[in-house]
Amino acid sequence: MKKRRLVMRTAILVILFAAVAYTLYANFNKDNVHKVQIGKEAPDFVLVDMDGKEHQLSDYKGQGVFLNFWGTWCKPCEKEMPFINNQYEQFKDQGVQTIAVNISESNLAVNKFIERHGMNFPVVIDKNEDVKAAYGIGPLPATFLINPEGEVVKYHTGTLTEPMVKDFMTQIKP
């Protein structure tokens, strides 16, 4: 009798606390619930860069992809661009591809920005904001690290320093 009572009570309490814990957990993560989960395959996309070259993510299987979302108006994005450019030069021959996705700005604005900052890596414009939606991008800049298997390894929002960019690219080196 007594044992049964203890088992019953324990079971009920466990169920209740599990529900509470889940609710709290889900609530805290609701702002960082990404469409794209760490360890899951990164959603495929295809966008055209400023030179007219098509970039499809799945074509880069076997290479790491440093995927950066940015805007010309976003100060932190501007700050990290030179770092990304430097590291791109270091890593491009080591199997790490860099793609910078601009969110739906005009070609002019993007081109002028590229000129101003001497960016050498492919920059694509997400005109329909499809890719933005698929990756659930909130505030900019946002960076995804995709390993050679096509899986998301890391998600980062906020400015990057040069050592961070270097560390990130090292992480996805094939």
Partner 1 sequence: MMKQVKCECGHVNPHGTVLCESCGRVLVEEEKSKKLVDMRYEGSARRSQTYNKTIIDKIWNFFSSVKVGVTLIIITLAASAIGTIFPQEMYIPPTENASVYYEDQYGFAGEVYYTLGFHNLYSSWWYLLLIASIGVSLVICSLDRVVPLYRALKKQRVDRHEGFLKRQRLYRATTLASIEEDSFENIKVKLKEKRYNIREENGSILAEKNRFSRWGPYINHIGLIIFLIGGMLRFVPGMYVDELLWIREGETVVIPETKGEYYLENHEFILETYEKEKENEAFTTAIENNGTVAKNFQTNVSLYKESGETIAGQEPELEKVEDYELRVNEPLKFEQFALYQQSYKLGEISEMSFALTNKETNEEFGQMTIDLHNPQDEYTFENGYSVELMSYFPDFEFDENSEPVTKSRVPNNPAFIFKMFSPEHPDGEVSFVAIQQTIEPYGDNDLKMAFKGVDTQNVSALTVRKDLTLPILAIGGLIFMIGVVQGAYWNHRRIWIRRLGDQVLVAGHTNKNWHGLKREITHVFDGSGIQEPIDQSDEITNKKGKEE
Task: List residues binding partner 1 (CB under 8 A).
Answer: 1-2, 5-6, 9-10, 12-13, 16-17, 19-20, 22-24, 26-28, 30, 33, 43-47, 56, 71-73, 75, 103-109, 111-112, 124, 126, 128-131, 133-134
Phi and psi torsions of 56, nearest 5°: -110, 130
Judge contact between 150 and 58, C-beta under 8 A: yes
Closest approach, Cβ 99 to partner 1, in A, equals 11
Closest approach, Cβ 131 to partner 1, in A, equals 5
What is d(CA 126, CA 94) in angstroms, rounded to the nearest whole number? 27
DSSP letter assigned to residue 172: T
What is d(CA 106, CA 96) in angstroms, rounded to the nearest whole number? 27
Closest approach, Cβ 111 to partner 1, in A, equals 7
- Based on CB atoms, which residue is closest to partner 1, 40 or 173? 40
To 10 degrees, the CA torsion angle through 112, 113, 119, 125? -90
- Based on CB atoms, which residue is closest to partner 1, 86 or 130? 130
- Based on CB atoms, which residue is closest to partner 1, 29 or 94? 29
Judge contact between 77 and 117, C-beta under 8 A: no
- Based on CB atoms, which residue is closest to partner 1, 73 or 174? 73
Closest approach, Cβ 167 to partner 1, in A, equals 28
- Based on CB atoms, which residue is closest to partner 1, 3 or 93? 3
Please state at what angle helix 162-171 crosses helix 75-91, rounded to 10 degrees.
Answer: 50
